[in-house]
Structures are given as C-alpha cells and as structure tokens.
Amino acid sequence: LEKAVDRVIGGIERRSRVMSAFERRAVAYHEAGHAVVGWFLRHTDPMMKISIIPRGVAALGYTQYLPKETRISTTEQLLDRICTLLGGRVAELLTFGHLSTGARDDLQRVTQIAYTQVSQFGMYPGGGHVSFPMQGQGLVKPYADDLAETFDAEVKALVDRAFERTRALLTERKAEVELVAEHLLKHEVATRDDVIRLIGPPPFRDDPESTWFEGPAAVA
C-alpha cells in the first residue's frame, strides 16, 4: 500500500536517473526545508514522509503530508501554507548561498494561493468585499488597472512577508534542517518517526487549534 501511495503522489520511481552530488545535496536540503518549516508551524498538514528518490517525469524529491479535511481557511492558515512551500527555496539559500530552479512548482503554488487570497477572497488590509476570477479563465478582467496594481502589490507584500518569516524560522532551526537533510543523504527516505527521533515531536500536536492536533491522549 505504501508503495502504491508513493507512486500516486510522486510518480514512478526512477532510480536510473542519475543526480550529481550537488543536485542530490540540493534536493535533500530543499525537502528538509519544507519538512522543518511545516513541522514548527501551527496550521500545516502533518508530515508523513520525505524522499529524495527521483520519481515521475521531473520530481527529484517530495515531502508527503496527511491533509486535514477543511472547507474554509483563515489568513493564518494560508500564510503557514505559503511559508511551508517556500521552505525548500529558503533552505537552499541559507545552506548554499544561492537559489536554484528546483522551486518552480512551489513558486507556482505560492503565486496561485496568494493571488486567490487577495483577488478572490479580499483577504488583505483594506480589501473590499468583492471577488474577482483569476485571469486565464477566459474571462475579461472586470476591474481597472489601478486595482490590478493593488493586487500585485498586496501579493508581493504577502509573499515577501512569508519569505522573511520562513527565513527567520529556518535560521533559528538550521541545525534541524541539517539533521534531516543528512539523514536523507544517507537513507534517501525519512518517515515521520525518523523526523521525531531526529528533531523531536511537532510542538503543536497537543494544540486543539492546530492541524497537528492528535487528541488529549497524545504523548511525547
């Protein structure tokens, strides 16, 4: 069953795809960044597994989560989601001092969440109680250029704020990122139990307001 889940989420395993030593290290720290950010934020889906085994057409690694069923999201929940998506890129920047193209899919998802939050849900300071469709859906833009500029500015401010928050968290948790990444370089896969052993249990799993909440019987 576990192999079937991995195949659905990440695609067919491609062990024949050879990564350079730099690529393998970059992927390990990238995925560790995602995992550590999500581990230490209140409103993120619980992490189940991390892998740096190449899969599918392009995936060089992935972090698997157990999403909670929710029908609505708050500003705080969306911010935590964006921070988790940025965790891979920020971990690379802090570790290697430069960026790579490995975060393309993450950035596309960040952009989609941020523009949806601003333009469709009006979740920004001074936002009106109106909703506009994302462009690219075959509809004429139903608002003026100055509002479009407002959307762009609000999205940039939102993502910049999330990036700096993520940078601060991973700067503080640099040792934890290294522990997870080095485990991945050695074993290629890290389960939730492995991560608990490496960096301790998730701090919010006893918090009823957190998506990590495991109930009153949860113990360390």
Instruction: Classify residue 113 as exposed, middle or buried by CB count within 10 Å of its CB (0-12, 13-18, 19+).
Output: buried
The one catalytic residue in 23, 31, 154, 164 is 31
Torsion angles phi and psi, residue 55, rounded to 5? -140, 155
Closest CA to 165 of 173, 175, 154: 173
Residue appearing with tokens 């698997």: 64
- 176 as an active site residue: the answer is no
Q: Which residues pair with 65 in a beta bridge?
A: 47
Residue environment code for 2-11, b if the CB has 16+ CB neighbours within 10 A, otherwise e: eeeebeebbe
Contact (CB, 8 A) for 92 and 26: yes
CA pair distance 3, 16, nearest whole angstrom: 18
Q: Report, as residue numbers or ranges, the catalytic residues.
A: 31
